[in-house]
Amino acid sequence: MENKDASKPSVQGGKTLAEQGIIENIFERALWNVRFVVILGVIFSALSAIVLFIAGSLEIYHILVGFIPGNLHPLTHEQILIGIIGAVDFYLIGLVLLIFSFGIYELFISDIDIARLEGGFGSILDIENLDDLKNKIIKVIIMVLIVTFFQRILSMEFTTSIDMLAMAVSICLICVGVYFLGRHGH
């Protein structure tokens, strides 16, 4: 937005156009417009999210096909759980990328007006600064790590009581971490 009256001070105590030199004005405009480079991150993050959602859906599709009775190679319950948890992992990482896309677009380019008009996004678009974006992404990444942990647990073979104890302690630590993460979010 340009200041129509060059003699009036600009927003937040900046220089007026009359006080700025032409080179300073051109440089500041060019520098400010460099922010549009984040469009690349927005586009490719959104495309990556779409790829991950498709990959997760294909994972579940393969599980459904493998579950059909009479299949030559029926899936075990363990294989089904590992596949579904893997698909959830893809979906969660896709969500991280979508949140990142929305966040950097809103922080550097413009509010997503259609989302605000139609509603339904809740707190996803409540990103005021980079810390808000970081906190939202960290929470989803922690969920991805938890899901990945449980996927690995399902495929492990426990041979000693120490293995079982380590698994129990790990699950307990994850529960404590999630508890504190939930308390921090309120």
- CB-CB contact of 73 with 66 (8 Å): yes
Which residues, 6 or more positions from 185, have their beta carbon under 8 angstroms from its beta carbon?
139
Choose among 105, 94, 84, 104: nearest CA to 147: 84
Choose among 186, 181, 109, 185: nearest CA to 145: 181
Per-residue tens of pLDDT for the chain, all 186 residues? 444 444 444 456 677 777 788 888 899 889 988 989 999 999 999 999 999 999 999 999 999 888 877 777 778 888 888 899 989 999 999 999 998 998 899 888 888 877 777 776 666 667 788 888 888 888 888 888 888 888 888 777 878 888 888 888 888 888 888 788 777 655
Tell whether pTM > 0.75.
Answer: no
3-state secondary structure of 102: helix
Residue with tokens 């991950």: 52
All structural domains of the chain with their residue ranges: 41-155, 159-186
Residue with tokens 């966040």: 103
